[in-house]
Structure 1
């Protein structure tokens, strides 16, 4: 029987777990649980009431409710995005769906990363945010035996600073 080798990450890559607490600063979310999904290419955020509107200046806008009323972090704010794409994205069930995609920032560890997120109804999913390969690539290594590595690191750093 072959012995498994434990690879050590390159110094420029951080190890994260299968679930992580993240912040979405531009969307006013300080902390929300995200599922790390190496099977998904694009990251996703749970939204409800996703539709296009025409703004006062005649430009098309995508309008969404971030999360939904049943989620504890739902803030009743309707978000509008003037810059977005409409793309075909394969769902976890293998179906190709047209989804709106926006760019926003996500904070994981002390790093703020600009990334693309598809906007989709994830109400039937356990986690409202999904982090896909495109965001993970060249930055993180996923250790599926761990979870909330970034949050534990943050707590350890705060304790270290308090003890100084």
Structure 2
């Protein structure tokens, strides 16, 4: 019997260090790295080290816009599902999901046309989680936006 936590193909992820209380994430074991949609990002130097600031709209009800910053962990080429290569900034942050917390690498990208603002790749889920592709939102669901009258 496995001691790994079962996830569905989509889940609600929390990135507490970035102030993101809930963001819809697609679990993609075909992708090596994880990606987070940002509306804008900028680089700067703090205490002699490279940092990146960024702004995003996680999409959760009442979440509004989030602005965060993190040290630049790496910068490398990433090939998307269409075969296009782009250079992306990577950060390390805590992922809280299904009662487990772990530090993961995330690249900052433009996922504007995608249904999920976050993609969790296989390195983020390895050794802790197992995926059931027939199920979704096993550990909580994002509340739907209620239109204002």
Q: TM above 0.5, one fold?
A: yes
> Would you say 1:15 and 2:6 are equivalent positions?
yes
Q: Distance in 1 between matches of 2:126 and 2:30?
A: 12
User: Would you say the 8 A contact 2:18–2:69 is kept in 1?
Assistant: no
CA deviation profile, 1:99-133 (whole Å, cap 9, x unmatched): 00000011111111110001001111110111101
Cα 1:76/1:137, change in 2 over 3 Å: closer
User: Would you say the 8 A contact 1:47–1:66 is kept in 2?
Assistant: yes
Cα 1:94/1:74, change in 2 over 3 Å: farther
Where relative contact order (Cα < 8 A, 6+ residues apart) is larger, the structure is 2
Which residue of 38, 46, 53 corresponds with 2:37? 46
Specify the alignment match of 1:4 in structure 2.
none
List structure 1 segments (4+ residues) > 4 angstroms apart after TM superposition.
none
Which runs of no fewer than 5 residues in structure 1 stay unpaired? 1-9, 153-164
TM-score normalised per structure 1: 0.76
Q: Distance in 2 between matches of 1:128 and 1:47?
A: 8
* 1:150 aligned counterpart, secondary structure: coil
* 1:119 aligned counterpart, secondary structure: strand
Q: Distance in 2 between matches of 1:59 and 1:41?
A: 26
More strand by share: 2
Specify the alignment match of 2:28 in structure 1.
37
* 1:149 aligned counterpart, secondary structure: coil
Which runs of no fewer than 5 residues in structure 2 stay unpaired? 142-149
Specify the alignment match of 1:24 in structure 2.
15
RMSD between superposed Cα atoms in Å: 1.9
Specify the alignment match of 2:77 in structure 1.
88
Shift of 1:62: 1.5
Length, aligned pairs only: 139
Which segment is superposed worse, 84-93 or 110-119? 84-93
Shift of 1:61: 2.2
TM-score normalised per structure 2: 0.83
User: Would you say the 8 A contact 1:46–1:129 is kept in 2?
Assistant: yes
> Would you say 1:98 and 2:87 are equivalent positions?
yes
Q: Distance in 2 between matches of 1:99 and 1:120?
A: 7
Shift of 1:58: 4.7
Return the index of the structure with the highest Cα Rg: 1
Which residue of 65, 70, 79 corresponds with 1:75? 65
User: Would you say the 8 A contact 2:27–2:121 is kept in 1?
Assistant: yes
